[in-house]
Each structure stands twice: as structure tokens, then as C-alpha cells.
Chains A and B, each alone.
Chain A
């Protein structure tokens, strides 16, 4: 029988990772407030669901943006036929403008460098094909998004070498870590072609400061390797300081621009993962041309290009949307981390992304990944929350979990928090502060909603350094 390829039958798709096991548990028993109140709550999905009402309102006010309505139908034929891999000019211009806005208009993007791809997933694979040959390697700081194992390696034959980051310095990338990774690759006889960073970071929810970025730029120039900066979470930076993009750094620091490439997408900032709008922005002309040809394998539907062009060109709407979206993310993040802190759960101090990097090291039976998996199983099976274990992100220290907070409504968030509180109450071995006794399941909902209103109204949420009581149990990192 004719065999199928090794790629097809192997595990390179990465779906046997625990990252996906939790999803499967969720799919088997998904939470629903009425039909399945004891189901698993999905906290493993980094989606931005907080601001759809703004978009829906805009759509109602702009029927012509959907080219198939009476108002937009005269564009139907032209759009339906448009398969040019350069992309609709209006689409490219609107995306370039949006990318500039998200960076405070401190840099301008050239619409001719905007290349489409099948989501950021397609963009990463495409760049790997353009920059790296099979058997060569990319350096990636840990912890990193599990999808990279598939996107960068599966069909390309490229290897990934981790740049190990540690909690001792908040997982920041150091020159030492970069050099160590480079050396390790060389020892393994792997030729390093580039470094991939995700900034703001998934799963950390933090972004890099100028010093780190400058070091990175210096490093790649010195080694003459490429730098891919995945900035998919750029507009989810909900708190000061402002995000600094690689596009800004290269204006200030000496750099060979042919090495610099940005990956972007509308899946997180706008909340449109279904529309598959991925972007490759390279400062290298040869790469731009090659990527453009490759984009044939994952062009953005012209129907969607038309919609996006229309929406992103509406300056007033977009300005308001971005700031409103950040505001909602900020509130949700603050409430979530504050609530966790109340029960002695800390997380990495973060100001971006759709998730927190939760610190459960103190809950591990021992400092091992087996213990992490054990704890994770308890969280999925008993607490009924799908969270993502740090090991699936290749974190070098056990005990960290990525927990998403922007993909559910307020009620679901409350249910999730109450489950966490109950879990912590059960597992607390020392005396629980008296006020916690009030948080029994029966009175939970009422007290929680009151607490949330109090929280939202409280001026303390405006200060990142709010003096919140810390549990003696866990030295929280808020």
C-alpha cells in the first residue's frame, strides 16, 4: 500500500501536547451557565471577546462594508474576482495605518511591504520557508506559544532551540541566555538562521523594554541572523508603559534592516481569528517578494479584505475601539489578578495580552514537571478549568500556568473565580483569614458581584501598585 508521507503520519502537528489535552477535556464537557453549569470553563483560549459590541455597532452603521449588501453589491464582482497576491491596495493601506496607530504613530509602515498570510500561523510557516533550510534552526525564548512547534517545524523541517528564560528575572531575555542557546545549537551542529521573539509575550503577558530589544538587535546583527518579531498582541497592551515595537528600535539603533521581519494578525487585537488575517512585514526586499509569492498558499479572502479595509480606514472608530478595548482588558486583568491574590495566588506582573502567567509553584508536591501535570489534572478534572500548563510552553521551571481571562463574560469569570477560591480553601493548610469564611458557595454569587462592583468603582485599580493584602501562604508576585 502506497505509504503517505512521514510528515502526515508523524507527530509534528504537535497536537499530542497537553496544551491540546485540556481543550479536548473542555470539548467533551463545555461549561454553559444554564445547560452545563458544572462543565469545564475554557481558560486555555487566548481570545479577545470583550469588545464585540463595538464592532457590531459599527457594522450596523456601515452596511456598505459588507460588499454583498445592497449598499456594497456593486463591488461584489470586482472583489470576488480579485485573487492578486499583492492584496487589495485599500486593505494593505488600512492595515499599514492600523499597525502605525497601534504603535502610537511613532513609526510608519509601508503598505507595499504588507504581505498576506493564512493567519499568523501561515505567516510563521511562510517566514520559516523563506529564511531557513531544512535541518537549520531558529532560537526561541521560553516559555513560548506551543503552536510554534507546528508552525515553524512541521512541514519545513526547521529545528527550534530554546533560549532559556527564568523567573528570577521575570523571564526577561538576557544576553547570556541568547549566547548560551547559540552555543548549544552549534554544539548540536545546527546552523542558526534566526531568532523569533513574541512581543508582547505569549504566555507571559509582558513586553520587552528598550534595553532588551537593543541587546537583541545587537545580538542578531553580530551573528548575522534574522530577527522575527511576532507582534500579534501589540494592541493588547492595556497599561503603561507603552509598547515598544522592533520597528521603532531599528530607527534608533544601528541595524541591518534586511534581518528584520514582523509577524502580525488581527486575531488578538481585533478578536477576529475566524477571518484569517495574517501579515508578514519584512524590511528585506527579497524576503518580501518571496513571501508574497508564497502567500498564494494562504491569501486572505477578498471578501474579508474588503471588510477589514473598510473598518480599519475609519479612523475615529479605530481610535476609540483600541482605547476602549484596552480599557476593558485592563479592568478584566486587574479584577482577575486581584481576586487571585485574595486567595494567595500570584502571577507574573503583566500589562499586556489576554492571559496571565499564574504562579502555582507553591502548590506543587515537588519541583517537577510530573507534579505540575498532576496539579494540572486536578485543575481540569476537579476544579473544571482548562488552563495551560507551563510545560506545554517549554517553560524550564515547573509550576507556572497560563490562564486566559478575555474569552468569557463577567458571569463566567465569577464562576471560574469561585471555583478557584473553593479549591484554594480546600488546599490551604494554614488558617484562612476570617473574611474568607464569608465566601461560601451559597452566598458566593451575591458577594462576588458586589465585590466586582466595589472593585470596579475602587480608585485602587488605577494604580498598578495597589496596596492589596497578601496571603501569608503564597508570596504573590503582583
Chain B
């Protein structure tokens, strides 16, 4: 066959990662309360399914927005023809207002600095094309969203160098970690073009402290590099500390209109805050007009459907609705997170204290047979295949410490979450039984009995579980 490109034949799309393998297993055997109660429960998908009723009720009250009508008149033709990469003005205005509202109106955004893209996936890739050459590098704090390996590197040829964060200080970014990463890049002869952070963090679920943000600003000033702040989860900060956006920090430090100001870019999306990943609504916000101009032209490769822009412009312009939505959504996320944390506690599992996101960063280091990534994989496989929960192993997020897992809580019903926690509890209990058995037995016959005992005890836990429901 005609030879394909290197991009087509390499693995940079990242889909061989375990992050995606877990999804594949789930797809083969997905849990359903009625039709497949023993299937795999999806806890690897960071979706916000908690507030659809609010969206649906708004839609019911505002039928024009989704039916191509404005004030009762059909505007279908106008929308069907609208392919201007500057985007629908009404939508951009509504979007920047929404972004400001999420930040407590402590900062405002200029709609002329916003570029609409097909999801944050496209926004991040586009920023790489704008800011870096092939072979340049961006520094990313670990652990980070596995999709970045594809979004930032695949077609752009840009490299990622990790800023290693550890549990010793709750995975916060430190000055020394930043410097170490920078030096690492230099050793590899990679020119560092910037730092990309996700704030609030995926997978940690924490929002950055002011100190961390100050540190970043100092670092990028000193090195004269860019900062991309992916704030896709900014609307999911459900408890204190309140979310502090990078823009707020720049403003507070009187850095507006300075050089550093133009090197800070924000990525946003409605996939997490509003729970609309299917609609592919992403955005780049940059203070640099050249970046805005270039990114706008590049957005031709992934514009937001005008049909969707119109619907969302109507929705987000309804300030009464957005205020109510943001508040209720926060409450529900907080409540649901508490349920997960409580469930984990019952299983003797802890997690990183978090105030945002759609997941918890769960600590299963004590369940590892050894402090290695092999042991983490081993544990993960058991959780996927035996416990039947798809969770994401820390190694897929490039965490440098084995034993951490990202567990999502907002993409299922409360009952399903309860069941998941019960399964986990049983599993942990059975590991304890197994450990004791291993210590007592010495020969192969006993080893055989162990397996049988393990299965039996697991089974009896499972039966009890059914009674509890």
C-alpha cells in the first residue's frame, strides 16, 4: 500500500495507554443496573452527569434556542450559513460572561480575545501549533491528564517534560521541581517554550494555591516562556478554597499589559462545567493579539457548530439560569464527592483532600504488593477484571509514585456509586484474608486451598452485598 505518514504509524496518539485499555474492557462488559448488574462500573470517565435536569428544564422553557428560532422567527438559514471563524458574537459575549461569573467576577474577559475551538482537545493542540516548533518542549506537572500526550504532542511534534510532584506536599508544584524539569529539558537539548498546568487539576481535583500561581508567574517571567492554564474544571470548584484564576493573580500583581501578561493563555470548555462534551465547545483565551489572530485562523480546522453556538448563547445569556446552575451544580458535586470519600473510608482507603473536579485522587499505596508500578498494574488489573471497576491508574497520568488512582464520581447514579463502594470494600476485605492465608500456609496444596478460600470468601462477601441492597 502507499506509504503512510510517520504520524499514522507511530503510537503518539497514546491509545495504547492503560487509560484507554480500561475503557475498552468496560465497553466489552458495561454495568447496567437491570441488564448487566455484574458488569464493569465506569469510574474512569470524568463526566458531569449530575445537573442535566437543570439544563433540560431550561430547554423546556426556551424551545426557540434549540429549534433555530429567535423571537418566534426561523433563523435556520442564517445559522446554517454561519461559518465565520470569529464565532457568533452573542455566543462569545455570553461565554466570557460565564467565565467571569465562575471566577466570582474578580476578573473580566474580552470577547475579542476568545477563540472558539472544537473542544479543549482542539484548543490545546492549537496552542501548541501557535507557541512551539516541532521539537520544542512544554513542562507539565505530574500527574497529568493522559490525553495531553496525544493533544500536545502527536501532530505537533512538541515534547512534554514532566514537573515531578509528590505526595509529600500534596502534589503541589515547587520551585525546585520547576527548575529540575527545565534542566531536564535542557539536558535533552529541548528548547522549553512554556509550562502547561491544569487548574483545577486533573487528576488531583485540587485548585492551585496562590503561592503556586505566584511561583509559576515568577518562573515564566524569569525564563521568558509561556504559561497555559487549562481551566476546564474551573466551574467545578465546590468548596473552599475558592478558585483563583491565573488572570486574577496577574491582575493583583499589576502585571496587566506587561510582557508576561501576553504570555499567559487560558483554555476552557463546556464539557465539564456544563456536562456537554458531545457539543465540542472549547475556547482559547489569550492576551496576545498575535496568538489570538493565528489561533482564530487555525480554528477553521475545528469550528464549533453554529447550531450549538446559538443554543448555548441563549442559555449562557440567561444570567438567572447560570447563577442558579453554578450554585446547584457545586452543591451536588460536593455532596457526591463526600459519598465517594465516605465509601472509600469504609474500605480503609484514603484520598487526597480536594475541592474541585469530577474525581478523587485515591491512595491505594497500602494495597500494593510492592512499591512499584508493576504492582500498581497488578492491582489495577484486579480492580478492573475482578472488582469490575474501571478506574485510572496513576501511571497512566505519569504519576511518579505508584499506588495512586483517579476515581470519578459524577458520571453515575448514587446507587451505582454505592454499589461500587461495596465492591471495593469487599475486595479490600478479601485481600486482607488472602494475606493472612499466605502467611499461614507453606506448601502448594495449601496454596491451592488459598485460591479456593479467596474465591469463597469473596463470593460470600458478594452474596451479603446482594442482601444489603
Chain A residues within 8 Å of B, Cβ to Cβ: 1-2, 4-9, 13, 15, 47, 49, 52, 55-56, 59, 63, 66-70, 73, 76-77, 79-83, 118-119, 121-122, 125, 129-134, 150-151, 154-155, 193-194, 220, 224-226, 256, 258-259, 267, 271-276, 284, 286-287, 290, 293-294, 296-304, 307
Contact, CB under 8 Å: B77 / A83: no
11 new A-B contacts, CB < 8 A, other than A130-B5, A297-B155, A299-B119, are A5-B133, A8-B290, A13-B297, A52-B77, A118-B122, A118-B302, A130-B7, A155-B301, A272-B80, A297-B151, A301-B304
Bound Cα distance from A371 to B313, whole angstroms: 47
Binds A, one of B182-190, B275-283, B448-456: B275-283
Contact of A274 among B66, B82, B125, B278 (CB under 8 A): B82
Bound Cα distance from A299 to B278, whole angstroms: 9
Q: Smallest CB–CB gap between B209 and chain A, Å?
A: 25
In order of increasing CB-CB distance, the 5 nearest A-B pairs are A68-B66, A302-B278, A274-B306, A258-B1, A298-B302
Q: Does B174 have its Cβ within 8 Å of any Cβ on chain A?
A: no
List 8 A-B residue pairs with CB atoms under 8 Å apart, sorted by A's residue number: A2-B263, A52-B76, A77-B56, A80-B275, A121-B301, A275-B307, A290-B8, A298-B122
Chain B residues within 8 Å of A, Cβ to Cβ: 1-9, 13, 15, 47, 49, 52, 55-56, 59-60, 63, 65-68, 74, 76-77, 79-83, 118-119, 121-122, 125, 129-134, 150-151, 154-155, 193-194, 224-226, 259, 263, 271, 275-281, 288, 290-291, 294-295, 297-298, 300-308, 311
Chain A residues in 8 Å Cβ range of B151: 296-297
Q: Smallest CB–CB gap between B131 and chain A, Å?
A: 6
Q: Smallest CB–CB gap between B45 and chain A, Å?
A: 9
Contact, CB under 8 Å: A130 / B150: no
Chain A residues in 8 Å Cβ range of B119: 83, 296, 299
Chain A residues in 8 Å Cβ range of B1: 256, 258-259, 284, 286
Contact of B301 among A1, A259, A273, A298 (CB under 8 A): A298
Contact, CB under 8 Å: A226 / B2: yes
Contact, CB under 8 Å: A274 / B307: yes
- Greatest chain B CB density within 10 A among A1, A7, A79 is at A7
Bound Cα distance from A293 to B10, whole angstroms: 12
Say yes or no: A76-B56 contact (C-beta < 8 A), given A81-B278, A83-B271, A301-B280. Answer: yes
Chain A residues in 8 Å Cβ range of B6: 133
Contact, CB under 8 Å: B83 / A133: no
Chain A residues in 8 Å Cβ range of B305: 274-276, 300-301, 303-304
Contact, CB under 8 Å: A77 / B49: yes
Bound Cα distance from A304 to B278, whole angstroms: 10
- Report the number of A-B residue pairs with Cβ-Cβ less than 8 Å: 244
Chain B residues in 8 Å Cβ range of A155: 129, 155, 298, 301
Contact of A122 among B4, B276, B302 (CB under 8 A): B302
Contact, CB under 8 Å: A304 / B308: yes
Chain B residue nearest to A293 (CB atoms) is B13
Contact of B4 among A5, A52, A76, A287 (CB under 8 A): A287
Say yes or no: A79-B8 contact (C-beta < 8 A), given A5-B129, A52-B77, A297-B122. Answer: no
- Greatest chain A CB density within 10 A among B121, B225, B279 is at B279
Chain B residue nearest to A220 (CB atoms) is B2
Q: Smallest CB–CB gap between B201 and chain A, Å?
A: 21
Chain A residue nearest to B223 (CB atoms) is A2
Chain B residues in 8 Å Cβ range of A59: 67-68, 74, 76
Contact, CB under 8 Å: A79 / B307: no
- Greatest chain A CB density within 10 A among B82, B155, B304 is at B155
Say yes or no: A130-B4 contact (C-beta < 8 A), given A274-B81, A294-B155, A301-B308. Answer: yes
Say yes or no: A52-B80 contact (C-beta < 8 A), given A9-B290, A81-B49, A274-B306. Answer: yes
Chain A residues in 8 Å Cβ range of B8: 129-131, 286-287, 290
Contact, CB under 8 Å: B303 / A118: yes
Contact, CB under 8 Å: B81 / A47: yes
Bound Cα distance from A302 to B307, whole angstroms: 11
- Greatest chain A CB density within 10 A among B3, B294, B305 is at B305
Contact, CB under 8 Å: A76 / B59: yes
Bound Cα distance from A150 to B297, whole angstroms: 10
Chain A residue nearest to B119 (CB atoms) is A299
Chain A residue nearest to B298 (CB atoms) is A155
Q: Smallest CB–CB gap between A273 and chain B, Å?
A: 4
Chain A residue nearest to B74 (CB atoms) is A56
